[in-house]
Structures are given as C-alpha cells and as structure tokens.
Structure 1
Amino acid sequence: MGRSEPSCPARQKALRFMSTVSVSPPSPRTSGFTLIELLVVIAIIAVLIALLLPAVQAAREAARRAQCTNNLKQMGLAVANYESATGTLPPGSFWAASGTGPGKTADGFSPFVMILPFIEQANAYNLVNFSLSYKNPANVTIAGVGISAFMCPSDPAALQNQPLSTTVYQAPPPGNWTQSFTSYAGCTGIWDIRPRLADSNFSQQVANMNGTIYMYSAVRMGDIQDGTSSTILFGERGHSLLSPTDQVVNQFWNSGYWYDTMLETYYPINAHKKPVGSLGARYVANASSLHSGGANFGLVDGSVRFLKDTIDSWPINPATTLAAGSSYDQTANLYSIAAGSKVGVYQALSTRSGGEVIGADSY
C-alpha cells in the first residue's frame, strides 16, 4: 500500500481560498502626453511657424511684385499699340468742358482711359464722354470700373472701391456710385505742373515738361532722344501709403488731374522716408510703393525695372523743399535748372531728351 500525505488543515484552508479568487491579467498602461511633453511640442511648433512665416510672406510678396511687373508690361505694350495707331504716346490729359456753364473747363481723362481699347477694354472706353470733364455727372459710370492691370496687388487700398466723392464730382446723379483707384502714373519728367489754359504762356508751360506723359503731351518716339530703354514711361505710387482721408480723394484711375495719374521725379522714390521737408500734395505726385526698398517703373521700350529708393537723386533742401540748382517761377508756372547743376540718375531717367548718358549699372 502506498503511503498517503498527512492531512494539514491549514493547507486545505489555503487551497479552498485560492480556488474562490479569480486572478486577472495585469492591465496595459494607458498611452498619452504628459503636460510637459505637450508644452514642448507646442513650443517646437511655434518656433517652426516663426521660422516659416517670413519665408511664406516673402514668397507671397515676390508673387505680387511679379504681377506688378506684368501690369507695367501690359501698359507698355498698350502704349506701343496706341503709338502705332495715333503716332504719339497717350497724353496725360486735356482740359474739357465742365458742363457747369459756357466756357467753363475742368480736367479731362487720364492716360489709362486713353489706352483702354488696347488692353481689351473697349466696352469701358465706350462709356466715356470725352467732350466733358471726368467729374461731370455724365461720366460717373466709368469712375467705378476697376481695371486690375492698373492696380498693384501689394497696394491693398488701391484694390478697394470707395463711394464716389461728392466733394470732387459735380452733383452726381442719385445712386450708389463708386470710385476705383490706381497704383501707377505716367511720368511727366523731373517736375509736374498743371498748365493753365487761360495763361498767355500756356504753350510755354506745356513745353516746359520734359517727360513722356503730361497734360497736353503729344510725344513721338522720335522725340525720345535719350533712348527708349532708359526713359521712364510709367511708375508706381503706393495708394495705401496715403492717409484714409487722402485716399478717397486722390489717385482716381480715370482722372486727368495733374497728380491723380501723373508723377514727377523731383523728389526721391519713397520720399516719406527721406529728409526732404514737408511736401503736402507734392508727395502724391511722386513715386512710392509697398514693395520693400524701391518701386517698379515701366520704360518706353516696354521693359520694367525695379529702381531702389537708394538710387542717385539730386539733393533736396528740406527747409525750402527745392532741389539744389532748380527754381520755380510761380507767376509764369515754369521750372528751370541752372547750368552746371547736378541732376541725379533718377531724374535723368525721367527726361526724354536731357542728353544724359546713363549706364545700366547706375540703376
């Protein structure tokens, strides 16, 4: 007979207890981020955004600047076609009947209106009554026609229509009329004056202009003796750089008023950054842009150059806001430059027959 294990009451009791207890397997650990890990991830993302944002903004600005360049090329091509059809470059403006009484005149239309048929905008051109001023009630429709080719995409204020200015337009008819703007202007030369039709020396005032597009201009290609590749046709002006009050009454795209759609090179590019004194309305008549470091300019040959605002420019006395060697006869409404006076590279680029020799490495 085999020998049996002796019975142990304590052992039997332990076995009975264990048989009543179910042992579960250990639960897996719950995954997740700790607060510190989460903060580290957020900090890394913030650093990456800070590093990438300037690059994204730079890429967007490069695209906008390229579109601005394309706008000026389109305008240059339109002017070339206009010149082929008429024999001259488009005029800056003409005086026209105001419609307020016999013999009364007001400003006519801009060079941009003149070239509309050559940028596939004949329908807009047909809205214009050229026998009347741009601000006559008969011509309010064209005011609100926005032409994208005349607006720099980096100039947001120029892209937004505003309610028609009742301080400029002569009693516009009832309705919700709007005004469109432009970021560009035809180049009148070193200075821009508004020839006074009633003056006995009116013809002399017109002849005093040395650019390519100005009031009563009729410049032919043969008149551009300084070379079409070194003479400015159009330039930029940052509409958004004006105060909100000035924005609504300046740089109307359709207006032939002397500084709405025409610019001079008397003061340096982006004059608001330079010590040239208080310019007032003259600031509106000079080149500026929302591009960093300068502005785009279209030349007569159709090419476009980005001119830096550090380009050589003649010195300005901030006390008088006059350039050294230049003078203005307020009675005769004429400018002159003393013999031997320095004319900057920027000023020389704006004259059609100044006789200056400018190398491409100068700008």
Structure 2
Amino acid sequence: MPYRMITALFAILFFIGALSGCATQQPATPVQAAANASAEPAFEPFHDIVDMAFVQQHVSIPMADNVMLIDSRPYKPKYVQGHIPMAVSIPDSQFDKMTDRLPADKNSLLIFYCEGLKCKLSHKSAMKAEALGYTNVKVFAEGYPKWVADKAHYPSVSAEWVKSQIDQGADMVLVDSRPKKAKYDQGHIPSAISIPDTYFDKQKDQLPADRNKLLVFYCGGLDCKLSHKSAAKAIDLGYTNVKVFTEGYPAWVAYAGKASTATVAGTAIKGGAEEGSIDHAEFRRIVAESPESIYLVDVRDADEFKKGSLKTAVNIPVDDLEAKIKTLPADKPVVFICGTGARSGESYYMVQDVRPELKNVFYIDGEMTINKDGSFDLKKPI
C-alpha cells in the first residue's frame, strides 16, 4: 500500500473516531471519569511513512552501520514469537530506558514498526526519537502483519521461543545451516539436524514431506547468512511455515547455557496456545455469563479507552501499569486486553517480573476491535 494512502487512511480513521467521540454517551463510571479526565490529545500518525519496498531495500545481513530497524512491540510475547529479520527490540513502553541501544550517529536511518495500521507504538517511538535529535526517522505503518503476509518472507524468532518449542515437544524441524564438521559436530541446539547451506540441494531429502511442517533454520548469529539462504530455498521448494532463529547458536548458548490456569466460580479457565493467554471462546463465555468474575484491565491509552471498552473494564495504560501492579486484586483472575495482543501480552509479563506471586493472570492474544457499546470482535493472532 503506497505511503500516501496509508497516511490518508490514518487521517480518516482518526476523523471518524473524533466524530464518534461527540456522540451522546451514558454517564461515566468513576473509573471511566478518571480515565477521561486524564485522556491524551487525539493521536496523530508520524509524518514520514514508508512502505514494504523501502523496508526490503534496507534489510541486509548484516545490517548497514547507519541503518536500524526497530520493533516497537513488547519483547514478550510479540518480538520473541516473530519479528522482521535483523530488527532490534526497543518496546515503546521501555523506550526511555533503552535509548542507549540507538545509534550514536543522529543522522542514522531509523525505521520503526509495530503491529500494523491499528498500532500506535511505532509512531510514538518515532516521535520520541525525533525529539532526541534523530533526523532520518521513518515508520513502516503496515508493520509486522504486512511483512508476514508476503509468502516470500519469513519471520525471525528468538532464543526464548526456540527453547519453549523444544520444551513443549513442538512438531517442528530445527535445522543447523552451519558446516557439519567445523560447527555442528562441535556443538548444536538439541534436536537440530544438520543440513549445511552449502549442501542444501544435496541433502534436502532430510526435510519433511509435509510442506506445511514448521521449519526453523539457524546458523552462527547476526552476521551469518547461511540460515537465511537456506530458509529462502525452503520457501522456493514450497514450504509454507518457515522461520529463522537469526541470532543463532551464540544466542542459544548464552540463553540456554504454558499455558496458565486459574478458576472462576470453581471452574478452570482454559488457556490459549501461548503462555499466559486465555482461550478466545473461554473469554467470550466469561464476558457473556460472568463478567464480574474477572478483573478486566484495558491497557490501551486513555484516548483509545474513551472511544469504547468492555463495560466492566478499568483503564490502566501499559505505560502506567508497573507502578500500579501492586493494586491488582489477588482474589479473582486478572485479564489484560488491548487492540492487538501486544500491550496486553507485555502487561502479563510485566506482572510476572514485578509480582510473580500473582498467579491468576491472563491476556488476550489476538486482534480485538472494541465498539463503543462494549461489544467486541476478536480474531486469532497472526
């Protein structure tokens, strides 16, 4: 989608949102009133939007010294599960704490992205970078969903994700693309098979017959192209579920050297596929039958919450959550929601770090569209 069309789409969406905000509303609850009082000004998209072609021409292995691709989504659960290859993780909520990861040269090209056209995180981070004096800042507004929608592209995953798949006995084939004698035989990730990229064509019969099987390639780290070359060859062969562990074996050595459960009215809550997530059907059932049985926290920004949220939800923006985690109740399950599963997932992991004894905590992993009347649509995550 051309960047002019993207910018126009943002303008239309925010104009409609502004009009809807003028509609007659029901009296606000005390919680909503407090949120409305502290509502942020209407969000404006970043002024310099780029498209897929622009991103593609700047992604290289290794990356050029004067270019940085930045994932503004939460590290967990989003970045570890999948990101654009060579992207650096600087979550927007942690931006001020992680500015040391930005390049020293303020003229460097910075390309921010997040979870697509409905996600504000990359825009917010780009504005912060400009405020720090960076002069060449862009936003890939279509973000990660656009990247993975292209069948020729593959996502990168992190060491945490690879280990979780191994621990869970996931149905995947892990492929070491490094030379066998010089590297694989000296040490490799458990369960990995050796298919050196140099001999890929001769040894491709080791790959599964099922073209939908999950394949994860890795090699020697961020400067190593072997796994990326092998992944591209696998896609050319028709494999549809290909990923690359870009940081590779060095990151595995450094790192490696379930679904949660709770009860509501005596009934176990069914978790989703990812750690800490709640099953979508289960969430819909609880909201319909016993919404007061959970403590529902909308972690979107105040201006988003004001446009509509679930009737029992309280608003604690993720940027403010860390200081308020101690106030979360321990006598009922806590469920975090947002628009894409990014901020809600980050909230879940923030609770694990700050208040690990709080066990009954979940988040919605998926795209959630919330209407002004409190109804909502929920789609599976990408």
TM-score, with structure 1 as normaliser: 0.24
Which protein has the bigger helix share? Answer: 2
Tell me which structure has the larger Cα radius of gyration: 1
Structure with higher RCO (Cα < 8 A, 6+ apart): 1
TM-score, with structure 2 as normaliser: 0.23
